[in-house]
Structure 1
Amino acid sequence: MSGLYLGDKRLRPLLAELDRRNAVVSVRPITPPNTESVWCGRPSPMIEYLFESARTFADLLFTDSVIGFPNIRWIVTHAGGVMPLLSDRMEWFRRLVRKPEGPTVPLAEQLTTLFYDLAGTPFPAQVPALTHLTGTERRLLYGSDYCWTQPAGVHSQLSTIDQATPPWGFPDWRTLTTANAYRMLPRLARVRSAV
């Protein structure tokens, strides 16, 4: 968005309106500006998208936008990117720079209020790291990354999801993510039951 991250104060009116509407907002990363020099000739989505997801939500967290607009249901793509691995470090730095009068809600607690999709390469490592941090699988949703990922890549991703150890209390990840989607968007469940 023209070099702005979502926590930018100029976007506060937009966040306020999304909050008023109880909006579901899925945030998908793109290649950030001026990163060509660090790609080393490799595909930008390989690493940059995972860091860009973390940058975007670090900005929302550090500006108290997640707790300030609690009715927005945020969906973080790629199982949170590198955020689960960086959350302790982010919290440490946040405490260093936080003003004494600032909010004291720990980042780990705020991260449990977000939803996460399984686009990309969620297994074998990303989802276990994320659920270790958030303490639950009830915030996970299916995400294919289609149309940015071609059908063969989507099928490959689905096979890793289907081969992963099922989540506790569910026969498989598809059942869990479907139940979570219906819980987040109850209207979908009503439409499905009417068909």
Structure 2
Amino acid sequence: MSSPARIDVHQHIVPRVWARTLAAQGLDSGGWAIPDWSPESAVAMMDQQGIATGVLSVTAPGVHLGADDQARDLARAVNEYGAEVVKDNPARFGHFAGVPLPDIDAAVAEAVYALDVLHADGVVLMSNARGRYLGDPGFEPLWAELDRRAANVFVHPAQPPMPLLPGTPAPLADYVFDTTRSALNLVLNGVMSRYPNVRVILSHGGGFLPYAAYRFSGLTSMAVDPDRTSEDVLRDLKRFYFDTALSASPSALPALLAFAEPGHVLYGSDWPFAPQEAGSYYNHFLETYPDFAPGQEEAVNRENAEVLFPRLARRD
């Protein structure tokens, strides 16, 4: 691209307090090391990759590492740091706030504070909160609060509640699996139909949801809920938004574009957890993909995100 234009909805922030807390507990991101990060290095990467704005979020394991009190303090520290980064450079950065699920009262309170006081651009939820998936009935108050604010919700994968495959970090296989699992849980538990004002963005092209969506919708009435038609399930599956992080590939991108509703595919990089070389590969595929409809490439790179994040819309 000739000048930075993309809005990157899947870019990560690594606050020092968060990295130190993980290190003190011997934690990483599902077997993936926590990289160095700074606003300056992020801007340098974005300038090289044609990204105008990165909407920042913490990655797995999120802000709840085991103890509720620690999680509340860590969420507040991470979110206030993210808000300062955006305040210092609002054109280049946005911010998804972390919330300390499964502590539901604290999660609701932090979401309200982050959206109303810090003016976060949305919230980030891990695909499961210490083994509880996002359609859990106990999380209903959070969805209701987010729906009242027509909030953007970015769902980032986490390690599912099972052992890692031997020699296989969670980001390689388990993350795409858990994204799909969480999305289906949201649909089958009715969250996507009860809360129509929430815009839910799934990481990495939605895992394998676009590929298997018609399997899910076709089997639900037979195996899960005879009162729900396949059309009902498919409608709720199509409510999701999807980012292209590590998914703008020869096999994944056509399936994603075939399934997603118009306007529901957004650019994502997954930097710095995905190396810049990976970003260059996927960007090249986006720039040379021959089957975009007229205007679709520009919509994926920027215009679809402008609808979700109006403050980032160009004024010219």
TM-score by length of 2: 0.55
Distance in 1, Cα, partners of 2:153 & 2:174: 21
Residue matched to 2:315: 193
Please state if 1:53 is matched with 2:179. Answer: yes
Residue matched to 1:161: 286
* Residue 175 to residue 9, structure 1, CA distance change in 2 (3 Å): closer
Residue matched to 1:12: 140
What secondary structure sits across from 1:123 in the alignment?
coil
1:183 Cα shift?
A: 1.8
Higher helix share: 1
1:111 Cα shift?
A: 2.4
Counterpart residue type for residue 124 of structure 1: P
Residues 217, 230 of structure 2: 8 Å contact kept: no
Which 4+ runs in 1 deviate beyond 4 A?
102-105
Residues 77, 118 of structure 1: 8 Å contact kept: yes
Which residue among 264, 272, 279 is the counterpart of 1:147? Answer: 272
Residue matched to 1:112: 238
Which residue among 121, 137, 140 is the counterpart of 2:247? Answer: 121
1:15 Cα shift?
A: 0.3
1:55-70 equivalences under 5 Å are: 55-70=181-196
Gaps of 5+ in 2: 1-128
1:30 Cα shift?
A: 1.7
Distance in 2, Cα, partners of 1:106 & 1:93: 12
Distance in 1, Cα, partners of 2:158 & 2:309: 26
What secondary structure sits across from 2:315 in the alignment?
helix
Residues 193, 236 of structure 2: 8 Å contact kept: yes
- 1:170-191 Cα offsets, whole Å, 9 max, x none, are 2x724543010112222221xx
1:107 Cα shift?
A: 2.3
Residue matched to 1:71: 197
Structure 1 stretch 54-63 or stretch 120-129: which is displaced more?
Answer: 120-129
Residue matched to 2:307: 183
1:163 Cα shift?
A: 2.2
Distance in 2, Cα, partners of 1:193 & 1:146: 27
Residues 204, 244 of structure 2: 8 Å contact kept: yes
Counterpart residue type for residue 18 of structure 1: L
Distance in 2, Cα, partners of 1:62 & 1:8: 11
Residue matched to 2:66: none
Distance in 1, Cα, partners of 2:130 & 2:304: 33
Residue matched to 2:5: none
Higher strand share: 2
Structure 1 stretch 54-63 or stretch 157-166: which is displaced more?
Answer: 157-166
* Residue 167 to residue 103, structure 1, CA distance change in 2 (3 Å): same
* Residue 35 to residue 44, structure 1, CA distance change in 2 (3 Å): same
- 1:129-180 Cα offsets, whole Å, 9 max, x none, are 122223x44211001011221222222222222222252112x724543010
Counterpart residue type for residue 185 of structure 1: F
Residues 166, 173 of structure 1: 8 Å contact kept: no
Residues 130, 161 of structure 2: 8 Å contact kept: no
Please state if 1:86 is matched with 2:208. Answer: no
- Structure showing greater radius of gyration is 2
RMSD: 2.1
Matched residues, number: 187
* Residue 64 to residue 103, structure 1, CA distance change in 2 (3 Å): farther
Please state if 1:41 is matched with 2:41. Answer: no
Structure 1 stretch 107-116 or stretch 7-16: which is displaced more?
Answer: 107-116
Structure 1 stretch 144-153 or stretch 8-17: which is displaced more?
Answer: 144-153
* Residue 5 to residue 25, structure 1, CA distance change in 2 (3 Å): same
Structure 1 stretch 40-49 or stretch 27-36: which is displaced more?
Answer: 40-49
Residues 220, 226 of structure 2: 8 Å contact kept: no
Distance in 1, Cα, partners of 2:215 & 2:130: 28
Structure 1 stretch 137-146 or stretch 148-157: which is displaced more?
Answer: 148-157
1:10 Cα shift?
A: 0.3
Counterpart residue type for residue 142 of structure 1: Y
What secondary structure sits across from 2:154 in the alignment?
strand
Distance in 2, Cα, partners of 1:46 & 1:2: 20
